Amino acid sequence: MEPIRDTLDPLREVGLNKLTIQATLAGGLDAQALGVLAADLAIGGTLVALTPWLAPVVVLAVSALVAVAAVIATPRNYGATLRSLLQDAEALFRTRADGTDGALRRMIVDDLADAVDANARTLRFKSYLVTGAIGLLLLSVPLILAHNP
| The Cα angle at residue 81 between residues 77 and 86, in degrees rounded to 5 | 150
DSSP 52: S
Query: Based on the structure, what is the number of domains in the chain?
Result: 1
Query: Average model confidence (pLDDT) for the chain?
Result: 84
CA dihedral 30, 41, 134, 24 (to 10 degrees): -10
Q: What is the mean pLDDT of residues 32-60?
A: 92
What is the tens place of the pLDDT at every residue in 81-104?
667 776 777 776 666 666 667 777
Reply yes or no on whether the pLDDT at 71 is more than 90.
yes
What is the tens place of the pLDDT at every residue in 5-42?
666 778 878 888 888 898 899 999 999 999 999 999 99
Boundaries of domain holding 117: 3-147
The contacts of residue 101 (CB under 8 Å, 6+ apart) are: 2, 4, 5
Report the candidate in 77, 97, 63, 89 with the shortest Cα–Cα distance to residue 15.
77
Residue 135 pLDDT class (50, 70, 90 cuts): very high
Whole-number Cα distances in Å, 29 to 14, 60, 69, 75: 22, 19, 12, 11
Q: What is the mean pLDDT of residues 122-135?
A: 95
The contacts of residue 141 (CB under 8 Å, 6+ apart) are: none
Say what the pTM is: 0.80
d(C-alpha 73, C-alpha 124), whole Å: 10
Reply yes or no on whether the pLDDT at 63 is more than 80.
yes
